[in-house]
């Protein structure tokens, strides 16, 4: 709805052709508002169910959350980078995402600068 408000301030309307909806008409704005409300409701119900499921799993001792994958491989990433391997090569070799390799190396540089 925020995007629609910005468009209206710029005197621009939104037409969704396959739904026959035009935000420049009262009916179109109503339809968009109703659809947005239903989508928000569905999202909130899904999150509520997710929280309940996690609480039940924790109570049963089955939920431990996500385990940090890269902590075990941190020293290896730093070592391979020191050997001159590219970040892409390190990521492929250790089965990590490139962003994870960048993050590990940035953290290692900050820690080295503090020492």
Across the range 86-112, mean pLDDT stands at 92
- The mean of the pLDDT values for the chain is 89
Alpha-carbon distance of 37 to 114, in angstroms, equals 50
Q: What are the C-alpha distances in Å from 44 to residues 1, 17, 41?
A: 17, 28, 5
pLDDT in tens, 37-86: 999 999 999 999 999 999 999 899 888 776 776 677 888 999 999 999 99
pLDDT at 100 over 80: yes
**Which residue in this structure is represented by tokens 């390190």?**
90
Domain 2-59 CATH class label: alpha beta
**CATH code that applies to domain 70-114:** 1.10.10
Long-range contacts of 25-31 (CB under 8 A, 24+ apart): 29/4
Question: At residue 87, does pLDDT exceed 90?
Answer: yes
Give the C-alpha separation, 69 to 73, whole Å.
8
All structural domains of the chain with their residue ranges: 2-59, 70-114
């Amino acid at each position: 709805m925020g995007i629609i408000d910005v468009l209206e301030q710029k005197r621009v309307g939104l037409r969704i052709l396959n739904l026959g909806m035009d935000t420049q008409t009262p009916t179109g704005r109503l339809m968009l508002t109703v659809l947005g409300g239903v989508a928000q409701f569905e999202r909130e119900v899904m999150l509520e169910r997710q929280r309940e499921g996690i609480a039940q799993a924790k109570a049963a001792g089955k939920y431990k959350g996500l385990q940090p994958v890269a902590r075990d491989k941190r020293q290896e990433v730093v070592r391979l980078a020191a050997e001159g391997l590219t970040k892409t090569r390190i990521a492929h070799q250790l089965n990590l995402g490139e962003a994870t390799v960048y993050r590990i190396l940035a953290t290692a540089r900050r820690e080295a600068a503090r020492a």
